Structure 1
Amino acid sequence: MGERDEPEVIGRRVQRLRSERGLTQRQLAEPTYTPAYISTLEAGRVRPSDEALRHLADRLGVDFSELATGRSARLVTDLRLRLTEAQRTLATGEAEEAARRYSALLAEAEPQGLTEVRATALLGLGECGIETGDLVSAREHFERAEACLAGHPLPARVPALRGRAVSHYLAGELRYAVYLLESTLDELNRGGLHDPDALLLLYASAIGPYMDMGAHARAAQAAEFALALAPQVADPALLARMHRSVARTLLAEGRVAEADASLVKAAELYRQLQIRTELANCHWMRGYVCAQNGDLERAEDELREALAMLSAKRAALYSSQVAVELADVLHRRGRSGEAADLLNGVLGDLSPERGAVHAAGAHRLLGIIAEDARDTEAAEEHYVRALSLLERAGAAGDLADLCRMLGDLLRRTGRVEAALDAYRTGLGHRTAPGTTTLGPAPAQPPL
């Protein structure tokens, strides 16, 4: 027996529909049931069987779902169809239009009590928030989606948990993001809930925070698990996202050709799906790979392509992050003035609560440019601001390197004691390979 309202609610509904159609209890009952049964049903003193509801629905000219739940099956189907349209709109990078569609669907689904439609709409609004850089709104929508699915198994709640983690990560709260991802992975694996889609989503999402925290070995392990899970996952968009995340880890290990191959696979999958924003992210990561491999001309081309695609779709936070990568390439190509203009233009879109790691990257690069111009005062100011942002985010790998740069600058300007303090701070933030501040890695999947 499927979902249905309480007997008294169904009884009142049957009575209302019968009266609207001008039928007597006998006319409604015949030939299968008695008028007394209809009277008892309308009074809410009997729970009708599916067979009885089908008979009544046929006599009243409504579908079974409408009689059992008060919701028209056609309405539910229409909402789900529009939901897929909103998902496709978001997938093609039109986040603001997708948010309007999701909001309308949420408003219609809530009074109908359609839990799954509500949860999917809330997840969509959360993804729209991430896309546009409204991280507070994104986190609120993911939290509401998680609450909506509170009675569902953990694998069904993973997209909401992962969304919360990503919103915290992009806000610069690396340790908390990793805590959410690792604790969910641990619960899934220790509980035997080996849902491939859920596990792949979590492992792929953990790679970025691990890398920014300097936990390269743990990032590499997450990438290996993600690659092992990939053949079990049917969602090409999820596979494409995984290939993009894995590429970053492969690059850290010096496996440039393999990283590029992963990005080619991701780009082809996204091209097939016409997912514009994710395709832009592939250009972004390919540009990063090329830059690390010394191919600066191609890196600039890839990053400019990513920036143009993301800017066209108003993905403000991602656009700003790509701009920082592009500025680094421009500086390395001897165009420091152009790089500085680009960095100063995007710093307004970044803050300690919104893209802290990339804001620190922007200040770090502006400090290097200032040093090259022998403006030590400006360089020190940028390094200190970058240091503050990285300390808040917990990005240990970048923080240690920045302390070294600040120490070198202070030493060259004759402030030896201050330089020693900076060096000591950097040493205190060095991270052992494969570790985070969160203790042992989560339980592993049975691969």
Structure 2
Amino acid sequence: MGDRDEPGTIGRRVQRLRVARGLTQKQLAEPVYTPAYVSTLEAGRVRPSDEALRHLADRLGVEFDELATGRPARLVTELRLRLTEAQRTLAAGAAETAVEQYTGLLAEAETHGLAEEQAAALLGLGECCLETGELEEGRGYFERAEARLADAPLTARVPALRGRAVAHYLAGELRYAVYLLESTLDELNRSGLHDPDALLLLYSGAIGPYMDMGAHARAAQAAEFALALAPQAGDPALVARMHRSVARTLLAEGRLAEADASLAKAAELYRGLRLRTELAHCHWMRGYVYAQNGELERAEHEMREALHMLSANRAALYSSQLTVELADVLHRRDRSGEAAELLRGVLGGLSPERGAVHAAAAHRLLGIIAEDAGRTEEAEEHYVRALSLLERAGAAGDLADLCRLLGDLLRRGGRVEAALDAYRTGLGHRTAPGTTTLGPAPAQPQL
């Protein structure tokens, strides 16, 4: 037991419990140990073995862990039960309520020095921040969760690593997000740590930054890997609810090990519910591929399916980003009015710090729709806003295209010098299609 207390602390605890139960040292020691051993132990002059602690715990009527650490045996199980309840709350989309639950759990876990439960609460708080768009605060929670798990296997740290990467991505820091995801994928795959949930989180998390950086081939491959790794489940929410109820019953009966096992199953299923967001990204990617191939009806179907999955999770920021891409498909299907209405509805939820690339895409498309309708001043205003957002995010491929649109608009309006400036800016950002400054692709999983 690596986390047991010092001998002096254990000795004082044994003495306190013995006196409270009205036992002499001789009565506590019999029939295995001597009164002298108990006296030495209570004085803190000997480190008791596991066997000795189990004997004493049995005689004192407490659990081994409580005697060794001072933590009531029920405490950890009850904390885990409440962690699964917080997971359920977040999976249902009630992020603000989940924040309150996780905050209380974190304080209790810190009080009792429970590193694993601290990490779980911090991870939950980080996920809440991703839902609500508080990216810097969320990144801090993920970093703290990762620090709590510094001695754990890499697979245990993947959710925190992925959370950090997503926070960087949504803040417009594309290359660093990709670096975090790819380096973790490479380490997992090269070391043979084949954990489907961990790999699914990483591959689906990489799709967005790949797309925004123009690495379309890598994005498509990541989506295929993620779909191949996706767990097959019916209705995990119902099963998880059942396991939570069973755990409560077992806990009330004092069957702690069985309660823990039931809670572990519930937690796994709630993680599956959170993976619904990741799977939505795969449908989103498929829709993008169909759109690029001109299969607009299939693209709309895939994007609406993804949007439905994200809306069910109340993933507001992701939903806003996806809506922008759906609007582009609708515009190409000659439904520009519907597209413009969607875009105006989501722009308030996007900003330079929250979805900069998609905010730029929304302004770009609104500019095109305005230009088609002959509203040139409105179109220019949207293009300029988009240009500012893309420069901040470093999305080179999109910048080159936008500068061309702005240059063409200015040239048709007779503003040749301004048009030339826009074209020159675009040429400075031009890259070959699909290329980035990324290094070699990470090692592939063994599917």
TM-score band w.r.t. shorter chain = 0.7 to 0.9
Aligned-pair CA distance for 1:363: 0.6
Equivalent positions of 1:216-235 (< 5 A) are 216-223=216-223, 226=226, 230=229, 235=231
Stretches of structure 2 that go unaligned for 5 or more consecutive residues are 237-268
Quote the residue 2:402 is aligned against.
Answer: 402
* Counterpart secondary structure, 1:152: coil
Equivalent positions of 1:239-388 (< 5 A) are 310=310, 314-388=314-388
**Range with bigger deviation, 306-315 or 396-405:** 306-315
Stretches of structure 1 that go unaligned for 5 or more consecutive residues are 241-268
Q: Distance in 2 between matches of 1:48 and 1:98?
A: 41
Which letter does structure 1 place at the counterpart of 2:38?
A: I
Which letter does structure 1 place at the counterpart of 2:70?
A: G
Aligned-pair CA distance for 1:72: 2.2
Which letter does structure 2 place at the counterpart of 1:136?
A: E
Q: Distance in 2 between matches of 1:288 and 1:70?
A: 56
Q: Distance in 1 between matches of 2:444 and 2:299?
A: 36
Equivalent positions of 1:195-214 (< 5 A) are 195-197=194-196, 198-214=198-214
Please report the TM-score for the alignment, with normalisation by the length of structure 1. Answer: 0.80
The question of whether the paired residues in 2 share the 8 Å contact of 1:391 and 1:399 is answered with yes
* Counterpart secondary structure, 1:436: coil
Q: Distance in 2 between matches of 1:103 and 1:351?
A: 27
Q: Distance in 2 between matches of 1:386 and 1:121?
A: 38
Equivalent positions of 1:108-119 (< 5 A) are 108-119=108-119
Structure 1 residues 289, 157: closer, same or farther in 2, change over 3 A? same
Number of residue pairs aligned between Structure 1 and Structure 2: 411
The question of whether the paired residues in 2 share the 8 Å contact of 1:407 and 1:422 is answered with yes
Q: Distance in 2 between matches of 1:12 and 1:25?
A: 13
Quote the residue 1:124 is aligned against.
Answer: 124
Structure 1 residues 8, 432: closer, same or farther in 2, change over 3 A? farther
Aligned-pair CA distance for 1:318: 2.2
Structure 1 residues 443, 331: closer, same or farther in 2, change over 3 A? closer
Structure 1 residues 297, 224: closer, same or farther in 2, change over 3 A? closer
* Counterpart secondary structure, 2:55: helix
Aligned-pair CA distance for 1:17: 1.3
The question of whether the paired residues in 2 share the 8 Å contact of 1:217 and 1:434 is answered with yes
Quote the residue 2:261 is aligned against.
Answer: none
Structure 1 residues 304, 444: closer, same or farther in 2, change over 3 A? closer
What percent identity do the matched residue pairs reach? Answer: 82
The question of whether the paired residues in 2 share the 8 Å contact of 1:283 and 1:305 is answered with yes
CA RMSD, aligned part only? 3.3
Quote the residue 1:148 is aligned against.
Answer: 148
Structure 1 residues 169, 439: closer, same or farther in 2, change over 3 A? same
The question of whether the paired residues in 2 share the 8 Å contact of 1:404 and 1:426 is answered with yes
* Counterpart secondary structure, 2:5: coil
Aligned-pair CA distance for 1:330: 4.1
| 1:33-92 superposed Cα distances (whole Å, 9 cap, x missing partner) | 112111111121111111110111011110111111112222212222332333233334
Q: Distance in 1 between matches of 2:226 and 2:303?
A: 26
Equivalent positions of 1:56-135 (< 5 A) are 56-135=56-135
| 1:216-246 superposed Cα distances (whole Å, 9 cap, x missing partner) | 2333454565567x3xx8x558xx9xxxxxx
Which letter does structure 2 place at the counterpart of 1:6?
A: E
Aligned-pair CA distance for 1:380: 1.6
